[in-house]
Amino acid sequence: MRSTSPMSMSMSMSCQIVLHLLFFIASLFSTHASSLCSKDGSVVRNISEIPSGNYGRDGLSHITIAGAVAHGMKEVEVWLHTFAPGARTPIHRHSCEEVFVVLKGAGTLLLGSSSSNSPGTPLEFKIHANSTFTVPINDPHQVWNTNEHEDLQVFVIISRPPIKSFIYKDWSMPHVAAKLKYPIFWDEDCWDSPKDEL
Amino acid sequence: MRSTSPMSMSMSMSCQIVLHLLFFIASLFSTHASSLCSKDGSVVRNISEIPSGNYGRDGLSHITIAGAVAHGMKEVEVWLHTFAPGARTPIHRHSCEEVFVVLKGAGTLLLGSSSSNSPGTPLEFKIHANSTFTVPINDPHQVWNTNEHEDLQVFVIISRPPIKSFIYKDWSMPHVAAKLKYPIFWDEDCWDSPKDEL
A84 lies in a domain?
A: yes
Out of B43, B127, B160, name the one closest to residue A133 (CB).
B43
Contact A162, A189 (CB under 8 A): no
CATH code of residue B151: 2.60.120.10
pTM assigned to the model:
0.82
A45 strand-pairing partners: B132
Contacts of B196 (CB under 8 A, 6+ apart): B72, B74
Q: Which residues of chain B neighbour A138 with C-beta distances below 8 Å? A: none
Q: Do B78 and A99 touch (CB under 8 A)?
A: yes
Task: Spell out the per-residue pLDDT of chain A, length 198, in tens.
Answer: 444 444 444 545 565 665 565 555 554 444 444 457 877 888 999 999 999 999 999 999 999 999 999 999 999 999 999 999 999 999 999 999 999 999 999 999 999 999 999 999 999 999 999 999 999 999 999 999 999 999 999 999 999 999 999 999 999 999 999 999 999 999 998 987 545 554
A112 lies in a domain?
A: yes
Q: Is B150 annotated as a binding residue?
A: no
Out of B47, B130, B131, name the one closest to residue A131 (CB).
B47
Q: Confirm or reject contact between B40 and chain A (CB < 8 A).
A: no
Q: Confirm or reject contact between A198 and chain B (CB < 8 A).
A: no
Residue B198's pLDDT is what?
A: 47
B103 lies in a domain?
A: yes
A162 lies in a domain?
A: yes
* Nearest alpha carbon to residue A191 among A58, A91, A55: A55
Q: What is the pLDDT of residues B184-193, one digit of tens each?
A: 999 998 987 5
A13 lies in a domain?
A: no
B137 lies in a domain?
A: yes
Q: Which residues of chain A neighbour B94 with C-beta distances below 8 Å? A: none
Report d(CA A193, CA A37) in Å as an integer: 7
Q: Do B159 and A65 touch (CB under 8 A)?
A: no
Nearest CA in chain A to B64: A132
Domain limits for position A74: 51-187
Q: Which residues of chain A neighbour B159 with C-beta distances below 8 Å? A: 75-76, 159
Residue B35's pLDDT is what?
A: 57
B176 lies in a domain?
A: yes
Counting the structural domains of chain A, the total is 1
Residue B1's pLDDT is what?
A: 41
A20 lies in a domain?
A: no
Q: What is the pLDDT of residues B44-99, one digit of tens each?
A: 999 999 999 999 999 999 999 999 999 999 999 999 999 999 999 999 999 999 99
